[in-house]
Amino acid sequence: MIYAFFDGGGNQSSDLGETRKNYLDDLSEKHELGDLPTANFAILLEEPAMKKKRESESEIVWDGKPMISRLAQQVEGGKPQ
């Protein structure tokens, strides 16, 4: 997969030209993947399945304090979390 990270262009992955499609077709044929669509990263992020995962609720489980490994606790006498 070739990625384009912004819509502004100026990179190879923003070109959905025939050359790119030919490379994808060769890869697809080699691995028997069938016909695959070409899309850049910005377009993929807007597809419903991707958008749902990106915009899903998340829970913050880290309090921002540095972690002290058990080894460091043993060697340096660090305090457990």
Give the integer Cα–Cα distance in Å for 5 and 71.
40
50 to 21, 53, 59: CA distances (angstroms): 22, 5, 19
Instruction: Report yes or no on 24 lying in a domain.
Output: yes
What band does 53 get if pLDDT is binned at 50, 70 and 90?
A: confident
CB-based contact 59:72 (threshold 8 Å): no
Give how many domains the chain has, as a whole number.
Answer: 1
**Model pLDDT, residue 29:** 92
Containing structural domain, residue 7: 1-57
**Model pLDDT, residue 30:** 92
Instruction: Report yes or no on 53 lying in a domain.
Output: yes
The stretch 40-65 carries a mean pLDDT of: 80
Give the integer Cα–Cα distance in Å for 49 and 51.
6
pLDDT digits (tens, 9 = 90+) for 6-52: 556 565 555 567 887 888 889 889 998 888 877 777 777 788 887 88
**Between 59 and 15, whose confidence is greater?**
59
